[in-house]
A and B are shown apart, each in its own frame.
Chain A
Amino acid sequence: MSETYDFLFKFLVIGSAGTGKSCLLHQFIENKFKQDSNHTIGVEFGSRVVNVGGKTVKLQIWDTAGQERFRSVTRSYYRGAAGALLVYDITSRETYNALTNWLTDARTLASPNIVIILCGNKKDLDADREVTFLEASRFAQENELMFLETSALTGENVEEGFLKCARIILNKIDSGELDPERMGSGIQYGDASLRQLRQPRGNTTQNKQQCNC
């Protein structure tokens, strides 16, 4: 009846207009490039169940419009996101320069713990490159982001981007850094977690307390 998964993660895809956010999502979900993509209106939604480190995780992905006029609408979707793909276009310095703003938005509005992966999209257009891999990876390092260059056209690194983000969140859950039971964590247990996670509820809180020591 309902599909089974261990966890559900709420993801965001953010970044300036025209960087290929919707195409990344489409590639991830449909495994093909989205021709004639238009500007997203408001926020779009997609989901896919993936397997990460032996766990099934349902990714609930909110693909936001990059256009300024939708900014206040899209912001209202940020809260409670566990992970985000922050997308810029390697052929457009403007979209790269805007990253700081997007990042501040995400960290203040979503959650300070949000796991963000920086995606330099349109890797296939290397000839028109305006942002080098090096400077972007330096930016990522300074801001504690993971970094990948992706191509929604060829599909290169697209899956990796989403999966990497999910994997880090899972690690944080295992280490107790993230508590799925906390409200607004952007994480929910799925049906399947019943079988693997039969430990009493007290355990998780204990873990957390140990971490805090």
Chain B
Amino acid sequence: MMERAMEQLNVHLSRLTRSLRRARTVELPEDNETAVYTLMPMVMADQHRSVSELLLNSKFDVNYAFGRVKRSLLHIAANCGSVECLVLLLKRGANPNYQDISGCTPLHLAARNGQKKCMGKLLEYNADVNICNNEGLTAIHWLAVNGRTELLHDLVQHVTNVDVEDAMGQTALHVACQNGHKTTVLCLLDSGADINRPNVSGATPLYFACSHGQRDTAQILLSRGAKYIADKNGITPLDLCVQGGYGETCEILIQHHGRLFQTLIQMTQNDDIKENMLRQVMEHVSQQSDSHYQRILTSLAEVATTNGHKLLSLSSSYEAQMKSLLRIVRIFCHVFRLGPSSPNNGNDMGYNGNKTPRSQVFKMCVRQMDVETIQKDGCSWTGSPFLDPLELLWHSLDEWLVLISTELDRNRKNPSSSSTSSSEIASLLLKQREVDHSGSTPKLPSSLDRQIVMETEAYADGEDVISMTASRLSAVIQAFYMCCSCQMPQGMTSPRFIEFVCKHDEVLKCFVTRNPKIIFNHFHFLLECPELMSRFMHIIKGQPFKDRCEWFYEHLLAGQPDSDMVHRPVNENDILLIHRDSIFRSSCEMVSKSTNEKLKQGIAVRFHGEEGMGQGVVREWFDILSNEIINPDYALFTQSADGTTFQPNSNSSVNPDHLNYFQFAGQILGLALYHRQLVNIYFTRSFYKHILGIPVNYQDVSSIDPEYAKNLQWILDNDISDLGLELTFSVETDVFGAMEEVPLKPGGISILVTQDNKAEYVQLVTELRMTRAIQPQINAFLQGFHTFIPPSLIQLFDEYELELLLSGMPEIDVQDWCRNTEYTSGYDPQEPVIQWFWQVVRSLTQEERVLALQFVTGSSRVPHGGFAYLMGGSGLQKFTIAAVPYTSNLLPTSSTCINMLKLPEYPSQEVLRDRLLVALHCGSYGYTMA
């Protein structure tokens, strides 16, 4: 009894000692669930001795599955690469093909994690390599996904079907191709994998390789004879390459299937393909060799030509063909500008860094040659064979324009021919039609093949060819301009194009007059070429302000690389650090330290000693800085007679740095406009004209000297022949206390002002007072302004609009306006016409109200303190409405110097509204003396 107790104690003790020495339990618990969690960490660490010891006398079931995914210890060992434990478990009868809840065997896990030794042992113990998990994946799929070629090589000998499919019909080859594991792909192919095997959606290994741009893999497949097969939706490997922008892979496809080149070219017509991807691909292919470059350009030119011709077919969809043509031409120009790859670089695939500079040099040579050729021949590109197909299109364009010119002549010669009246109506209708047409984006089914939409029936015997073809021809002209420009160094307008515009001047003007939208849609060349722009300026100015604003900013920001990226991280060094107490000087310093390019990209301002940053601070900076610019202490600007507007001070030279400051002021104003920030300055009308380069007139004088302006007005209004004024073309001025006779023009002192030349006199005197006196200041200001705003762009606006652009739309309080309005010539506030007028004003948009205010007062601003303080030519002058007898079609007029609206006694609110709007939109700028 005692002995047995002792013995038990000894066993217990020795077990305790062993346990303590090993720092673990030495006997497996009875139940499998507890036991397995004891063993698992040991298996993971491959502590095979301990495991072996524990298993020795236990009844543990080695196939016991546990955990959420129901794996056995063999799974654990295989997964972790615990090869000794794995063998131990196998020896103890673990089932090598035991599948967990997802159907994975230990072999799957070993394959997935690349446990080479475990795989070997599992195979020794007859693990089945062909078992699929629940997704249909086998061990070779796992190896293929991860590119474990060596293991695959061992395993594949045991595989009965190397093309075993997963649930999606994907074989190991598919997944290897998708991931671009070259050696794995080779190994699978060598083991007899089916190179053209489609998965359930019809995708082949080549398709997979292309979908991920695996160039080398595609190369291997193609050189082993892979077929070029589309999937069940008709999507081809080439489509995938283009969608992904995989130029290298495309190139490989084309190398093996030469015909795909044409397919690639045809893709430029497909609206669904992203243009940048396509361009990327074309770029790559074109840079393979000289002949690639030429072939791409020639083919693109051919497609462009066909598209251009289709666009000129009246039955085609304008919208679709126009987009297609311009897209192709854009790609063409892009490739053309790249220049051919340098000849000894052909096999290099363009990877090395040296390539760019070299081809750049080559490109420059070509450019130089082109320019010379053009200059020599006037208008032909003898050196560029790939432009040849496009010449057909340009030829057609030319013929079309000649034809239209003939039509114009014909219309002009017999304006009263029998058909005129009816055809005029027809042409009006057609014009309407054309507008509807281009506006509503006809979504014709793209299966244009079996269908030819002959709309011509509806057209009246081709009478108005012009309105039917104008937008189509304009789009082709745009394409022509793009092609001409891409042959020229940046910023130069092609002589050929200029010649073209000159030749077809009349027709182009006719197009634009009929449908001015064309300018915005297609005649982009105007902005890049001032000499051409001036021809169309009057038409451009007639376009809605809003459209011109959009156009302005579109072109202003066009050159900026990241103009669409609003939130760019700000470089600490680029922050303008401004001192509030010396805002003018510190701003001047900071801006001059920065570069124009940086300032264009974005402005970040921080006030010294303050935390704040961001748009709000920028806005504040512009606001207070603009106030400082007109601070009388600097003597840069003087207040005009009306007290709210400013213009350069002719005596600003009291400040020795004044011209630098003017340049700075110009920069700030330009910068503000560039970034759509408003400034808190209003300039005189004449100074806005100076910014725009518009000549001033005598009425502008009233802003600095209203009395004198009246006198000039008087001279113009009255016959001066018999007054004996004895004026000459000169003025007396006070130069440092001495009176001096300054001639207005050479020899002016001895030229008398007469009734015949008085207008010239008034103009010259005006220029003297308004411009010549402050010419250096204006020049300095403009120098700064033009660093951010090109003169050609600002020309789009008149002086009133420039004010709105720079200083923003003022808020107009209609109630205040109404309260401070007087009525004369028979009107009183109870008059229906007056009631209607205010109702109409209330219904106007803010912009239209400003136009109305400008229309009557000549200024877009309400004075400080409201309408009660509205100024006229001589002191306070309230807004006044005067009655005018109504005759049909009579428009309202105004006398801006006395803030008077002459409102005809309209019969209804509708008529009043209609006439007022006509007057506002056509007549808020430009004066005629009424």
**A75 at the A/B interface (Cβ < 8 Å)?**
yes
Please tell me if the beta carbons of A73 and B459 are within 8 angstroms of each other in the complex: no
Chain B positions within 8 Å of A43 at CB level: 309, 312-313
CA distance A194 to B263 in the complex (A): 10
**A48 at the A/B interface (Cβ < 8 Å)?**
yes
Q: Mark A1-30, 1 if CB is under 8 A from B, else 0.
A: 111000000000000000000100110011
The one of A37, A69, A190 in contact with B403, judged by C-beta atoms closer than 8 angstroms, is A69
Q: Mark B64-104, 1 if CB is under 8 A from A, else 0.
A: 00000000000000000000000000000000000000000
Please tell me if the beta carbons of A45 and B449 are within 8 angstroms of each other in the complex: no
| A72 and B402 contact, Cβ closer than 8 Å, known pairs A39-B462, A41-B465, A45-B309 | yes
Please tell me if the beta carbons of B263 and A41 are within 8 angstroms of each other in the complex: no
The one of A2, A75, A77, A194 in contact with B228, judged by C-beta atoms closer than 8 angstroms, is A194
**B412 at the A/B interface (Cβ < 8 Å)?**
no
Chain A positions within 8 Å of B449 at CB level: 3, 47-49, 58
How far does the Cβ of B429 sit from chain A's closest Cβ, in whole Å? 15
Closest B residue by C-beta to A42:
B312
Chain B positions within 8 Å of A55 at CB level: none
Chain B positions within 8 Å of A183 at CB level: 298, 388-389
**Consensus secondary structure, chain B interface:** helix
Q: Mark A32-75, 1 if CB is under 8 A from B, else 0.
A: 00111111111111111100000000101010000101101101
**A197 at the A/B interface (Cβ < 8 Å)?**
yes
The one of A29, A39, A75 in contact with B450, judged by C-beta atoms closer than 8 angstroms, is A29
Chain A positions within 8 Å of B312 at CB level: 42-43
CA distance A79 to B449 in the complex (A): 22
Chain A positions within 8 Å of B388 at CB level: 183
Closest B residue by C-beta to A183:
B298
**B759 at the A/B interface (Cβ < 8 Å)?**
no
Chain A positions within 8 Å of B306 at CB level: 60
Chain A positions within 8 Å of B228 at CB level: 194
Q: Mark B801-840, 1 if CB is under 8 A from A, else 0.
A: 0000000000000000000000000000000000000000
Please tell me if the beta carbons of A44 and B313 are within 8 angstroms of each other in the complex: yes
CA distance A38 to B257 in the complex (A): 46
| A44 and B262 contact, Cβ closer than 8 Å, known pairs A29-B450, A38-B461, A76-B399 | no
Query: How many Cβ-Cβ contacts under 8 Å join chain A to chain B?
Result: 114
How far does the Cβ of B896 sit from chain A's closest Cβ, in whole Å? 50
Most buried by A among B239, B310, B459: B310
Please tell me if the beta carbons of A44 and B399 are within 8 angstroms of each other in the complex: no
Most buried by B among A45, A58, A79: A45
Closest B residue by C-beta to A60:
B306
**A207 at the A/B interface (Cβ < 8 Å)?**
no
Please tell me if the beta carbons of B396 and A73 are within 8 angstroms of each other in the complex: yes
**A191 at the A/B interface (Cβ < 8 Å)?**
yes
Chain A positions within 8 Å of B267 at CB level: 2
Q: Mark A137-150, 1 if CB is under 8 A from B, else 0.
A: 00000000000000
Please tell me if the beta carbons of B403 and A70 are within 8 angstroms of each other in the complex: yes
How far does the Cβ of B260 sit from chain A's closest Cβ, in whole Å? 7
How far does the Cβ of A62 sit from chain B's closest Cβ, in whole Å? 7
The one of B258, B452, B469 in contact with A46, judged by C-beta atoms closer than 8 angstroms, is B452
Closest B residue by C-beta to A80:
B392
Chain B positions within 8 Å of A30 at CB level: 450-452
Please tell me if the beta carbons of B396 and A76 are within 8 angstroms of each other in the complex: yes
Chain A positions within 8 Å of B448 at CB level: 47
Closest B residue by C-beta to A70:
B403
**B316 at the A/B interface (Cβ < 8 Å)?**
yes
**A132 at the A/B interface (Cβ < 8 Å)?**
no
Q: List 7 A-B contacts (CB under 8 A).
A: A38-B462, A42-B400, A73-B403, A76-B395, A190-B262, A191-B259, A197-B259
A residues neighboring B (CB under 8 Å): 1-3, 22, 25-26, 29-30, 34-49, 58, 60, 62, 67, 69-70, 72-73, 75-77, 79-80, 183, 188-191, 193-194, 197, 201
The 3 closest A-B pairs by CB, nearest first: A76-B396, A45-B313, A46-B452
